[in-house]
């Protein structure tokens, strides 16, 4: 059995559960709202004893942790739900994977350990190419771009667009090229306080160099807390 985190609702015990899953392949083109509906339907098919919200239109309670942008794969995404029985991790994982559509795969389930507000960064992997540059030439130009003192770009928010310098926010950048593409791994701010999409960096590169980029992979690898540990 899992180490439970119990919540009492209407005099009944429910077990807070954090589900970790992968979103890959064509599932990356499913929007957050449609992903929410997809997983709700999977819960219904699984017959897991999940808690429904109150009100005139009860729905399965799902709280996604930092939803992915459209077009991104997720190596270890998560959402919270509540179950009326303290089931084993194996049973939860197996019953969901039996009914999950292609591109969604549940990895594990456990009681939540950390609050969403503890997330401060995310690790990403991007693979890209250009019709106008060889991978080796593109690699050299991206290395030169990342070495600049400032990387300015326009970031849009609810308050309107503003210029930001991405340079101080980029951590652990790493580049390599093969015969078809350049791959960049890096860490950027993520969470409830600050959240930077890595395509801000590639857009800034295109604006600075005039080199258009096509992507073969956009993936969020993991979410991190202030101490560098993985969010769980």
pLDDT tens by residue, 16-74: 999 999 999 999 999 999 999 999 999 999 999 998 888 788 889 999 999 999 999 99
pLDDT at 73: 98
Give the whole-angstrom CA distance, residue 153 versus residue 163. Answer: 6
**Low-confidence residues in the chain, pLDDT < 50:** 1
Q: Determine contact, residues 57/202, Cβ cutoff 8 Å.
A: no
- The dihedrals phi and psi of 35, each to the nearest 5 degrees, come to -65, -40
Q: How far apart are CA 106 and CA 77, in angstroms?
A: 9
Query: Which domains are present in the chain?
Result: 6-113 (3.30.70.580), 117-225 (3.30.2350.10)
- Is the Cα dihedral 8, 12, 13, 14 positive or negative? negative
Element (H, E) at 140: helix 135-146
For 73-123, the DSSP string reads EEEEEEEEEEESS---HHHHHHHHHTTPPTTEEEEEEE---S-GGGEEEEE
Cβ–Cβ < 8 Å for 13, 3: no
pLDDT of the residue at 215: 97
C-beta atoms surrounding 10 within 10 Å = 6
pLDDT at residue 16, as a whole number: 92
The dihedral of CA 219, 192, 206, 147: what is its sign? negative
Count of alpha carbons within 13 angstroms of residue 97, beta-carbon side = 15
C-alpha 69/C-alpha 197 separation (Å) is 9
């Amino acid at each position: 059995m899992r180490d439970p985190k119990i919540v009492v609702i209407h005099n009944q015990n429910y077990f807070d559960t954090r589900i970790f899953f992968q979103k890959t392949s064509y599932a990356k083109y499913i929007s957050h709202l449609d992903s929410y509906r997809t997983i709700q339907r999977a819960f219904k098919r699984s017959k897991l004893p999940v808690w429904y919200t109150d009100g005139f239109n009860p729905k399965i309670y799902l709280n996604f942790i930092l939803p992915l942008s459209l077009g991104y794969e997720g190596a270890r995404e998560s959402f919270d739900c509540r179950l009326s029985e303290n089931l084993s991790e194996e049973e939860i994982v197996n019953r969901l994977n039996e009914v999950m559509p292609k591109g969604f795969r549940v990895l594990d389930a456990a009681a939540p350990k950390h609050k969403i507000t503890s997330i401060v960064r995310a690790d990403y992997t991007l693979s890209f190419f250009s019709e106008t540059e060889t991978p080796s030439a593109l690699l050299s130009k991206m290395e030169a771009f990342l070495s600049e003192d400032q990387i300015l770009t326009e970031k849009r928010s609810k308050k309107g667009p503003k210029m930001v310098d991405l340079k101080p926010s980029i951590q652990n950048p790493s580049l390599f090229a093969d015969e078809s593409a350049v791959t960049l791994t890096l860490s950027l701010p993520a969470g409830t306080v600050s959240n930077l999409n890595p395509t801000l960096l590639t857009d800034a590169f295109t604006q600075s160099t005039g080199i258009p980029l096509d992507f073969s992979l956009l993936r969020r690898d993991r979410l991190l807390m202030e101490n560098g540990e993985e969010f769980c």
